Amino acid sequence: MNNLLWFLILVIVVVLGWRGWRYWRERKALQQRAQVEDALKYLLEREIESHPPTVEALAGALHLPRGKALRLVEEMEARGLVSTRGTALALTPEGRQWALHVLRAHRLWERYLADEARLPLEQVHREAHRWEHGITPEALDHLEAHLGHPRFDPHGDPIPRRDGLPPKPQGTPLTAWPLNTPGVITHLEDEPPRAFKQILEAGLRLGQQVMVQAVTPEGLRLSDGQREYVLPPAVAANVYVAPPEEAASPPPDVVPLSQVPDGQPAEVVAIAPWMQGFTRRRLMDLGLTPGAEVVPVLRPFFGDPRAYRVRGTTIALREDQAAAVWVRPKKASTQAAVAASRALE
């Protein structure tokens, strides 16, 4: 009896040990794959920015000791994914195709997390980094279609198609932008996270037109015509702008709905191109389509959300949502003002 008991215990230990070993082996393989994909994506991003990376730069980006980074590069070279040109690293055609898939997955997940999951913008990069591994090209095609084939991620970076390399993001850092020259924000760099959080807390957003008014000891002083912003130089360098004629910006007589005063009727011209996915569809479902008349009717004490009257219905929009609705103000009439006030009764 004792021998049988010990035999059963031995069988259980062996089975549990084998399952544990298999789980550990699969988990290690997934971690190694994720590390390779992280490296390939980093190399592609540096290639897009025309900054050939080195082993040392790769080690810093992946937070690896130089020795481990070197072994990782050797492994990728052996698999035909990377080649070396002097001290610089370069992707092979096979490595670039894989890296493009990972970058596409990352930016589509960012779009999904921002638009569908409504995750705060400062969190989407970190979460997308966790979701980008292990998804098939076919699954990405379905995700892209579900999101409405977005062109840009929430930070303004172009989302690559399945078979194409995205263009280099347009724009110039604010620190290199001339004084008193209008510029439209085309890209907000999401790394390092602390700088990106400062940009969001300041209230800057894609598509916003700003002007650098002065460079002070505190940093760059900006204005969008409504309010002023001050950013330290290291943070301002992560905000990219382009001339209004080169960026997707509204015509001179068109303004964001968020800037229209209470009781002022306006005609919807378009939804800003950087507003995509679920939020774009929701704005249109609320009746904010080209030609519709919209009237701001109430600005709460704390400013957000604000009430608007459109197509006979009162809706509430956050400031960032209203800023994405481009409108052409009409002349306010006494009748319109009265109607706006009655909408709240």
Q: Which residue range(s) make up the domain with 59?
A: 29-167
What integer pLDDT is reported at residue 308 of this predicted model? Answer: 95
Q: Are residues 237 and 263 both part of a single domain? A: no
Output the pTM of the full model: 0.71
Report the candidate in 240, 231, 323, 2 with the shortest Cα–Cα distance to residue 308: 323
Q: Are residues 85 and 156 in the same domain?
A: yes
What pLDDT score was predicted for residue 26? Answer: 55
In this predicted model, what pLDDT tens digit does every residue of 83-95 receive, in sequence order?
A: 988 888 999 999 9
Tell me what the pLDDT averaged over the chain comes to: 85
149 and 178 belong to one structural domain: no
Tell which wins on pLDDT, 110 or 28.
110
| Predicted pLDDT of residue 334 | 44
Distance between CA atoms of residues 328 and 125, nearest Å: 34
Domain final residue, candidates 137, 167, 197: 167
Mean pLDDT of 270-276: 80
Residues near 204 by beta carbon (within 8 Å), at least 6 away in sequence: 185, 188, 210, 222, 229, 239
> For residue 248, is it within any domain?
no
Average pLDDT over residues 108-112: 93
Q: What is the pLDDT of residue 343?
A: 45
Does the pLDDT at position 117 exceed 70? yes
pLDDT of res. 154: 87
The pLDDT of residue 78 is 94
Number of separate domains in the chain: 3
- Which of the residue ranges 87-91, 154-158, 318-322 has the most confident prediction, judged by mean pLDDT? 87-91
Considering the domain boundaries, does residue 247 fall inside one? no
Does residue 332 or residue 271 have the better pLDDT?
271
Same domain for 305 and 182:
no
Q: Give pLDDT, residue 269.
A: 92
Q: Which of these ranges, 13-17, 51-55, 174-178, has the smallest mean pLDDT?
A: 13-17
Domain contains 134 = yes
Which ranges of 203-264 does DSSP label H, i.e. alpha helix? 233-236
* Whether residues 42 and 152 fall in one domain: yes
Averaged pLDDT, 301-313: 85
Are 158 and 138 found together in one domain?
yes
Lowest average pLDDT, out of 88-92, 133-137, 202-206, 302-306, goes to 302-306
Domain finish residue from 142, 167, 192: 167
d(CA 111, CA 317): 20
Q: Are residues 35 and 156 in the same domain?
A: yes
In a domain, 50, yes or no: yes
User: How far, in Å, CA of 240 to CA of 176, rounded?
Assistant: 9
Phi/psi-derived region of residue 182, left when phi > 0, alpha when psi is between -120 and 50, beta in every other case: beta
Query: Over 90: is that where the pLDDT of 20 sits?
Result: no
The answer to whether residue 3 is domain-embedded is no
Q: Is the pLDDT of residue 302 over 80?
A: no
Is the pLDDT assigned to residue 338 strictly greater than 80?
Answer: no
Q: What is the CATH number of the domain that holds 178?
A: 2.30.30.90
Measured between alpha carbons, how far is residue 269 from residues 58, 98, 204, 332, 333 in Å? Answer: 46, 40, 22, 18, 20
Question: Where residue 84 sits, what CATH number does that domain have?
Answer: 1.10.10.10
What's the residue count for the chain? Answer: 345
What average pLDDT score do residues 101-116 get? 92
Percent of the chain clearing pLDDT 90 (strictly above)? 46
Quick check: is 115 in a domain?
Answer: yes
335 compared with 237, residue with greater pLDDT: 237
**Confidence at residue 54, expressed as pLDDT on a 0 to 100 scale:** 92
Query: 163 and 48 in one domain?
Result: yes
Using pLDDT thresholds of 50, 70 and 90, give the confidence band for residue 341. very low
pLDDT at 25: 61
Is residue 11 domain-resident? no
pLDDT band of residue 279 (cuts 50, 70, 90) is confident
Whether 61 is in a domain gets the answer yes
Average pLDDT over residues 274-294: 86
pLDDT (tens digit, 9 = 90+) per residue, 246-267? Answer: 666 667 788 889 889 999 999 9
Residue where a domain terminates, one of 147, 167, 187: 167
159 and 179 share one domain: no
Query: Are residues 41 and 130 both part of a single domain?
Result: yes
Give me the pLDDT at residue 174, please: 94
Both 60 and 151 in a single domain?
yes
Buried b / exposed e along 331-342 (16+ C-beta atoms within 10 A) = ebeeebbeebee
41 and 146 in one domain?
A: yes
